[in-house]
Structure 1
Amino acid sequence: MKLKQKIDSIQSQYEIERVRLEVGYEEEVSWIKIARAELGVLEIKGEQHNPRIIEYHSTTTGKFQKDETPWCSSFVNWVMTQAGIKGTNNARAASWKDWGQKLNKPAYGCIGVIVRANGTGHVTFIVGALNNKSLVGLGGNQANSVKYSEYSIKNFTAFVYPLGYTPNYELPLMDSKFVGKGDSTR
């Protein structure tokens, strides 16, 4: 491993530990820990499809077989299933807007829901904020991968949280070098 890769790996781990401490959780929220472990999963260009993304799809009623099929909701469903929490079992991002408990503002680990006027949408786990007041989402199908991305708070239609869990509204400030700018989704 090259020195720069080692340093980046150590800095990345440090960032996760810093976020965990700033948010005030002695242990990471279970579903965010699971989502973080998936960082770097990405689509395969061409006729082959990433088996991990197909596994995400297996938690939704569509059970799609291509990694090019929009998969943000499949990722969130998969993560919640792994955490022992029932998701929506639906591949549509909009299916999350009425799930769990609705929050009036973002909380650490909540699911941020974007529903556009044309009916398309996106879901992502809110894990922080940037100095410019944008939110940081950890999600799937963000620039065709699982990664951190920046979102304007005004884009969100809803913030939801699992029933039976207490939200923590303290969002840690994150370093923008770990966050994609303007990542597109399908």
Structure 2
Amino acid sequence: MPISYSFYTESEIEKEIKEYYKIGLNQATGDKKKTLEAKQGENIALLKKRIKNTCFWDKVEKGEQETKSTFSNLTAGAFLAIIVYSYYTKDEKKEADKKNIRNFKTSQKNVWHFHPIAFVEHMKLITGGTRAPWMEIAIAESKKAKGCVENLEPMYSMAKSYLRFVGNKFEPTDGTYGPWCASFMNWCMNESGYKYAKSASSLAPIHNNFKAHFRKIEEPIYGCIVVYKHKTKWKGHTGFLYGLDKDGNYLLLGGNQGNTINIEKYGEYTSKSKSKKLYGFYVPIDYKISEADYLTVGFPKNRTVYNSNLLTLN
């Protein structure tokens, strides 16, 4: 028996959203009504875009590409088949990427499940992805700290947990062995699911022991790891790049900055003593940089502006 599928269309999306806002719009007046109307329009546009990314089945091309493996006798439970991308040759991958078209086997001998890697990639199309997801975690931790310094709760317990996460048993108030900027950075990376270093050293990204965890980039991007190195000692400072100010200074979201989690301004050096100099910019080795990651002039929506001349992502 042939299987038929029905799709959630853009017109159905628009109809449901308008129905959702109907009561509020009927009761609202003036500026409140205008705000609701604008919000309704934004949601319709956003969901139309996302539903459009899922409705590609009419564009599927039939093909009989040779595969290197066979999935036979697979039972029910598979959703719609998504491209078995990893079984393409290098040239086939380039062609598929160029066309942005999914090709499927037409043979009736096998039942094809979606390939997990292809599924993840397609979910990124639907959701639009998240730039530097560890930044949301770092910002949330900053809010949770409530501006407290490391010898007061809740910052003390938070900083201590970051140090314990990387195996450091010293107190966060220990200025010699307890600096926790790198511990905070690595904790955030782990929480976001990306590569990190099990180290409390701010220079971990440049250490040979962790070259399989981080890679250096020439142009700074939103959320990249900024490393400062002491001019004579094996120590420094690290934080996440939030943006730049009008003078080109780096606005770092980081831990152990003023003994708390905040955004501070740094130039080529971390202080007037010039003991710690900018060494480089890094990202987790498994993070794929996109155009959206690069810094542009403007203010991001729904984000607190920490500097009136902030340059960061839209």
TM-score (norm 2): 0.44
Per-residue deviation, residues 48-69 of structure 1 (Å, max 9, x unmatched): 9711111111221323333442
In the alignment, what sits opposite 1:108? 222
- Residues 1:130 and 2:252 are matched in the alignment: no
Counterparts of 2:155 and 2:196, CA distance in 1: 24
Q: Does the C-alpha gap of structure 1 residues 150 and 54 become closer, same or farther in structure 2, counting only changes over 3 Å?
A: same
Deviation at 1:111, TM superposition (A): 0.2
Aligned residues: 155
Counterparts of 1:172 and 1:70, CA distance in 2: 33
Q: Which has the larger radius of gyration?
A: 2
Counterparts of 1:127 and 1:139, CA distance in 2: 9
Contact 2:241–2:250 at 8 Å: present in 1 too? yes
In the alignment, what sits opposite 1:35? 138
Counterparts of 1:153 and 1:166, CA distance in 2: 27
Q: Secondary structure at the match of 1:114?
A: strand
Q: Which runs of 5+ in 2 are unaligned?
A: 1-127, 270-276, 300-304, 308-314
In the alignment, what sits opposite 2:160? 54
- The amino acid of 2:287's aligned partner reads Y
Counterparts of 1:166 and 1:121, CA distance in 2: 26
What aligned pairs does 1:15-94 form with structure 2 within 5 A after superposition? 27-40=130-143, 41=145, 42-45=148-151, 50-68=156-174, 69-94=178-203
Counterparts of 1:159 and 1:139, CA distance in 2: 14
In the alignment, what sits opposite 1:145? 260
Counterparts of 2:226 and 2:181, CA distance in 1: 11
- The amino acid of 2:179's aligned partner reads P
TM-score (norm 1): 0.71
Q: Does the C-alpha gap of structure 1 residues 171 and 150 become closer, same or farther in structure 2, counting only changes over 3 Å?
A: farther
Counterparts of 2:173 and 2:194, CA distance in 1: 24
Deviation at 1:156, TM superposition (A): 1.5
- The amino acid of 1:139's aligned partner reads G
Counterparts of 2:180 and 2:296, CA distance in 1: 25
